[in-house]
Structure 1
Amino acid sequence: MPEIKTGAQAIGHAECLVIGGGVIGSSIAYHVAKEGRSTILVERFIPGEGASGAAVGMLAAESEEFTDPELAQFARTSRDAFPELVRDLEHLSGVPVEFRTEGFVTPFRSEAEGQIRWDAAIAREDDHPVWWDTRELARRIPGLDGQVIGAIYRSKETQISPAQLCCAYTRAATVLGATIWTGTQAEQLIVQHGRVCGVQTDSGFFSCEQVIIAGGLDSMRLLEQVGFEYPLNPVKGEAVAVSLKDHPLEYTIYADDIYLVPKRNNELWIGATSLSHQFDKEVTIGSLEGLLARASAWLPRVREASFIRTWAGLRPQAAAGRPCIGSVPGVEGVYTAVGHYRNGVLLSEATGRAIAALLKGAGVAELGISSFSPERIKEASK
């Protein structure tokens, strides 16, 4: 890779510079600043405005049914750390993140389907799932479709407000000494003698010892500058918020084809579509109709709910099938954390903590992220 130099005077300096203010980048800034290291985060828009803010905030480590054992364990570790994380963030930032711990319910309509799900759950999980029969469901979730004959309840699954979480991460990071630059686009990594020494942005040059690229889909452009290819596919996810009449839903319903996530003020968030290679954030009438039809098939009273709003975001799906977390080979001091797809909120705690540990010299094996390392992913792509 050619050496890239700049004669510009730095407008800011930090040991660590984080590119990207979504839930992953903001978590990294928080965890790195928590270690006492000087930290700058640059975000081209507003933190949490991209894919992170468009998420519904499920911490579904078991319900998501990860097939990669290392990713499954990473997800559980991250989810289980959230209660303590939430206490720390809310104390430092003063931002309520709307953390809810009622658990998730996966319903089914036949004994055969239920048995398959149950067998898979108890074989795979350490969280002791519970079988709810029709009597228990009627007591816990009145108004479910009459053809539902049971459900698997997972008490450890939780959920949060993604936008509030991003805000809490960044505010807590600033309390710990970090500096946040919004409206600032990272344009070029500056490399001298095989080591990164800063980042040129449209606001000016920032000098640093380490750079962490965590900018979602925009990360591909920056990673290519240091000779690392990590293809990301934009997958549009559309969602809708409604207000239920009478009794609000208490538990998150996580079905194969839809999820219904209760939020404050009696809102119910319904998602989500998965439209590959889409670059717009428009919500179509067809998608909206599909979401509401699938939701009301499980909970018929959705048909009587009041419409609130719709939104969409672009999830960064990795061609490698797993996130990329670690040191980028070829240039010293460059790290990345990208490709979390639809689980950025869930994996944010463990990712931020892992990057902070890597910057201090920890190894990927001891952190349980060997298969996510850029070097391993690069080797597998050959």
Structure 2
Amino acid sequence: MSETHTETKAIAHAECLVIGGGVIGSSIAYHVAKEGRSTIMLERWIPGEGASGAAVGMLAAESEEFTDHELARFARASRDAFPELVSDLERLSGISVQFRTEGFVTPFRSEAEGQKRWNAAKMREDDCHVWWDAREVARRIPGLADQVIGAIYRSKETQVAPVQLCRAYAGAAAVLGATIWSGTQAKELVIQGGRVCGVRTDIGFFSCDQVVIAAGLDSSKLLGQIGFDYPLYPVKGEAVAVSLKDHPLDYTIYADDVYLVPKQNNELWIGATSLPHQYDKEVTAGGLKGLLERASVWLPCVHEAAFIRAWAGLRPQAAAERPFIGPVPGVEGAYAAVGHYRNGVLLSDATGRAMAAMLKGADAAELGISKFPSELLKEESL
């Protein structure tokens, strides 16, 4: 890792500079600004236009069935903080994040499948789940397919509009004193004496005391420049929105092969394909056909729904299969929050809180996320 002399003139200075204006970077900027620290956030597009804007906004801490216990606890803590978070963000930013609290339903077509899911749910901590038999399912969701003989209902699972959430984070951060630089791309970190002192961008130099790299897939290049190899790769996801018109759906349906997420104005968002190592954002005919077919198996009225739009995004998956949240080894003042894969929206609040605490000196162990940076660094040192 080579060191660079400090630039003579900075466009601006902040105690903390966040690179990336997606839902993770925006959350970090919000939580750091909330601590009263001067904050700059750099985003090469507009907050919410990257991977965050392609999400469907589920806060599926239980439905996702995390196998890593530490990550599962982190996810639940993040989801459970959202009611208060949403109130604060909407009050500060004036942006509605379309927070929905009806809960999630996982349907099944056989007793064996249902029992397997029920037993798995009982083994997890603090899972607020209820068994619905066929009669209850028919009463609650009359449009579900006749083959559905039961479901597991999770009352704590919620959802938001992801772009609005991202912009509410950024807007609230700005109200609290943060400066948001949209259309500004970070090129490299500037290091002096083993410590970060700023960031060189496509419009000039920004100085800072601490920097947080939270730029999704773009983070790997910046981390590599300062000698930290943390491989990320894209997992393409396609989704489609339809209008249910006369068949409104209240609950989010979280099935094995598809999820159906109701939004405002009777829109239904259906997702998502999972295509590792694909870099394009095109929606394929096969992907769209598969999503609509799987959705209509559970909810037949999808066949009659009016098409609204389809889109695709690139999820930042870590080769280590868990996010990295913590200090970058070898460079004082440099931190990273990357590799959240398909759970960036869900983990955004907890990540922002954790990073704000770390910047003030807290370590991963006391925050309950010792695996995220520490185990990875231990593995690399072997």
TM range (shorter): over 0.9
Match of 1:123 in 2: 123
The aligned amino acid for 1:264 is Q
2:310 corresponds in structure 1 to 310
In structure 2, the residue corresponding to 1:96 is in which secondary structure?
coil
The code of the aligned residue for 1:9 comes to: K
Q: Which moved more, 1:29-38 or 1:360-369?
A: 360-369
Partner of 2:172: 172
Distance 2:289 2:188 in 1: 43
- Give the structure 1 partner of residue 337 of structure 2: 337
Deviations 1:40-79, CA, capped at 9 Å, x for gaps: 0000111110000100000000000000000000000000
Overall identity of the aligned pairs, in %: 77
Give me the whole-angstrom Cα distance separating, in 1, the residues matched to 2:109 and 2:201: 54
Distance of 1:168 and 1:272 partners within structure 2: 25
The answer (yes or no) to whether the contact 2:143–2:247 under 8 Å persists in 1 is: no
Cα distance between partner residues in 2 of 1:7 and 1:24: 28
Matching residue of 1:377: 376
- Mapping 1:58-97, distance limit 5 Å: 58-97=58-97
CA contact (8 A) 1:62 1:125 kept: no
> Is the Cα–Cα contact under 8 Å of residues 121 and 127 in structure 2 kept in the other structure?
no
Q: Which runs of 4+ in 1 moved over 4 A?
A: none
CA distance in 2, matches of 1:7, 1:266: 53
Corresponding residue number in structure 1 for 2:251: 251
Q: Distance in 2 between the 1:159 and 1:237 partners?
A: 18
1:339-380, Cα deviation, whole Å (9 max, x unpaired): 00000000000000000000111111110111001x431322
Q: Please name the residue that 1:298 is paired with.
A: 298
- The Cα shift of 1:103 comes to 0.2
Distance (Å, rounded) in 1 between the aligned partners of 2:120 and 2:7: 59
Distance (Å, rounded) in 2 between the aligned partners of 1:106 and 1:216:
30
Q: TM-score, normalised by structure 2?
A: 0.99
Q: Are 1:244 and 1:266, in contact at CA under 8 Å, matched by a contact in 2?
A: yes
> How far off is 1:246 after superposition?
1.1
In structure 2, give the amino acid aligned to 1:103: G
Q: Matched residue of 1:32: which SS?
A: helix
Match of 2:262 in 1: 262
Work out the number of aligned pairs and report it.
381
Aligned twin of 2:210: 210
Amino acid at match of 2:280: D
Hey, what's the Cα distance between the residues in 2 that align with 1:129 and 1:6? 55
Alpha-carbon displacement from aligned partner over 1:188-245 (angstroms, at most 9, x marks no partner): 1000001000000011100000000000000000001111111011000000000013
* 2:196 counterpart of 1:196: yes
**What is the aligned partner in structure 2 of residue 350 from structure 1?**
350
> What code does the residue aligned with 1:378 have?
L
* In 1, Cα distance between equivalents of 2:17 and 2:143: 50
Superposition deviation, residue 125 in structure 1? 3.6
Q: Distance in 2 between matches of 1:6 and 1:45?
A: 26
The whole-number CA distance in structure 1 between the counterparts of 2:295 and 2:307 is: 13
Considering only aligned residues, what root-mean-square deviation do their CA atoms show, in Å?
A: 0.8
One-letter code aligned to 2:378: E
Tell me if structure 2 keeps the 8 A contact 1:122–1:128: no
Q: For 2:248, what is the secondary structure of its paired residue?
A: coil
Q: Are the counterparts in 1 of residues 7 and 205 from structure 2 also a CA contact under 8 Å?
A: no
Is contact 1:232–1:317 with CA below 8 Å preserved after alignment?
A: yes
How far off is 1:7 after superposition?
3.3
Equivalent residue for 2:132? Answer: 132
Unmatched runs of 5 consecutive residues or more in structure 1: none
Please say if 1:28 is aligned against 2:36: no
Tell me what 2:273 maps to.
273
TM-score normalised to the size of structure 1? 0.99
Distance in 2, matches of 1:288 and 1:118, equals: 31
**Correspondence for 1:288:** 288
Which stretches in structure 2 are left out of the alignment for 5+ residues?
none
